[in-house]
Amino acid sequence: MSKIGVFFAEGFEEIEALTVVDICRRCGLETEMVSVSGERRVLGSHKISVEMDRLFGEADFEGYDMLVLPGGAKGVQNLEACESLMKKLDEFYAAGKYIAAICAAPSILGHRGMLKGRKACSYPSFESHLEGAEVTKGPVELDGKVLTSRGMGTSLDFALAIAAVFCGQKAADEMAEKVVYQRM
Amino acid sequence: MSKIGVFFAEGFEEIEALTVVDICRRCGLETEMVSVSGERRVLGSHKISVEMDRLFGEADFEGYDMLVLPGGAKGVQNLEACESLMKKLDEFYAAGKYIAAICAAPSILGHRGMLKGRKACSYPSFESHLEGAEVTKGPVELDGKVLTSRGMGTSLDFALAIAAVFCGQKAADEMAEKVVYQRM
């Protein structure tokens, strides 16, 4: 069974982060909420406090098939300031494993040279940070093993695209129908 | 400023509940997360535990302009089993104040005779509980002061419809654009 790590720093955008957790768990994917703040509860950008499954130091990175970075301007600053996470991200990229980021978070991938020559998207005001990318209007882009998406309003597209990676497009389409999402 | 109470019972659907909190707070509406479980932290249907603002007994119902009932099959059973909440719901309905419900939760309104002669929608398998309603395929229906919606995949439509009630359609449309929701 595939396993996904979603990384939460103070100021994370709640819906961007939690829609991934919700949809991936519905699809039977093991999905861990990992705190990057040092605390077991992390406060989102709209004052919603969520209990984590793991502290960063407890996370088993060997076991993850994908790292997911949610948005939220402050949350993304805090993710990028976590050198241990950035090191893991670089290792994942070098190993050709999946990395996903939404909203402001694709800027982190841009800063680390992971988007060069790839199609990618982000929150409009962060597009200048997608260094070397062919910037699209999304709602999601999967290029190689790098998945990006635009904002809180594309959270469900992002989560369903992750589901499609591990469970196939048919299962993702069935999930979209099950949750009454008529967009895809 | 308008004030909204969102009610959380064990087994609530996380995205349905939290998208309302997120969008309404973005719109400057005072939005309280109220525990119906007796605990300050409530566990959702996909094992996401969220910290509440208030226990039920601490909620100031006089101050609320709208009561919001999220879905999640087990969560809705637990909401309906809370007699104190049902009493408040009846009082709100009798006073002509706003009530909103999504997914399985509109069944509660159906059981209490609040949907008779109204357009309403719900999760497909709960439509038979919308007693006396003109059942639609949504994604949202506002009839008088009763707002209903269909499921996790219509959470953002539901939240934006609540924002439109209190802030106007223009502000809701601007918020949809701000969060990069291209659907409305």
Are B160 and B171 contacting, i.e. CB atoms less than 8 angstroms apart? no
Q: Is B54 on the interface with A (CB under 8 A)?
A: no
Q: What is the DSSP string of chain A?
A: --EEEEEE-TT--HHHHHHHHHHHHHTT-EEEEEESSSSSEEE-TTS-EEE-SEEGGG--GGG-SEEEE---HHHHHHHHT-HHHHHHHHHHHHTT-EEEEETTTHHHHHHTT-STTSEE---GGGGGGSTT-EE---SEEEETTEEEE--GGGHHHHHHHHHHHHH-HHHHHHHHHHTT----
pLDDT in tens, A104-116: 999 999 999 999 9
The pLDDT assigned to B1 comes to 83
Please tell me the distance from the alpha carbon of residue B54 to that of residue A43, in angstroms, as a whole number: 16
ipTM of the prediction greater than 0.90, yes or no: yes
Determine whether the interchain pair A181/B154 forms a contact, defined as Cβ–Cβ distance below 8 Å.
yes
pLDDT in tens, B71-111: 999 999 999 999 999 999 999 999 999 999 999 999 999 99
Which DSSP category does B128 fall into? G
Distance from the first to the final alpha carbon of chain B:
25
Q: Is B105 on the interface with A (CB under 8 A)?
A: no
Interface mutation vs chain A, best among B6, B10, B15, most A CBs within 10 Å: B15
| Domain at A3-95+148-178, CATH from 3.30.70.60, 3.40.50.880, 3.40.50.720, 3.60.21.10 | 3.40.50.880
Q: Which of A96, A65, A80, A92 is nearest to A162 (CA)?
A: A65
The pLDDT assigned to B182 comes to 77
Per-residue pLDDT for A184 more than 60? Answer: no
pLDDT in tens, A124-149: 999 999 999 999 999 999 999 999 99
Size of interface A-B (CB pairs under 8 A): 94
The pLDDT assigned to A1 comes to 83
Q: Is A152 on the interface with B (CB under 8 A)?
A: yes
Type of residue found at B105: A
Nearest to B15 among A22, A33, A150 (CB): A22
The pLDDT assigned to A182 comes to 77
Are B122 and B152 contacting, i.e. CB atoms less than 8 angstroms apart? no
Per-residue pLDDT for B183 more than 90? Answer: no
Q: What is the domain partition of chain A in residue ranges?
A: 3-95+148-178
pLDDT in tens, A31-90: 999 999 999 999 999 999 999 999 999 999 999 999 999 999 999 999 999 999 999 999
Secondary structure element (H or E) that encloses residue B12, with its range: none
Q: Which of A46, A14, A154 is nearest to B29 (CA)?
A: A46
pLDDT in tens, B59-81: 999 999 999 999 999 999 999 99
The pLDDT assigned to A67 comes to 98
Class of the B3-102+152-173 domain?
alpha beta
The pLDDT assigned to B9 comes to 98
Strands B54-55 and B134-135, bridge-based pairing: unpaired
The pLDDT assigned to A62 comes to 96
The pLDDT assigned to B184 comes to 47
Determine whether the interchain pair B181/A33 forms a contact, defined as Cβ–Cβ distance below 8 Å.
no
Using DSSP's 3-state secondary structure scheme, residue B13 falls into coil
Determine whether the interchain pair B151/A19 forms a contact, defined as Cβ–Cβ distance below 8 Å.
no
pLDDT in tens, B124-175: 999 999 999 999 999 999 999 999 999 999 999 999 999 999 999 999 999 9
Report chain A's C-alpha Rg in angstroms: 15
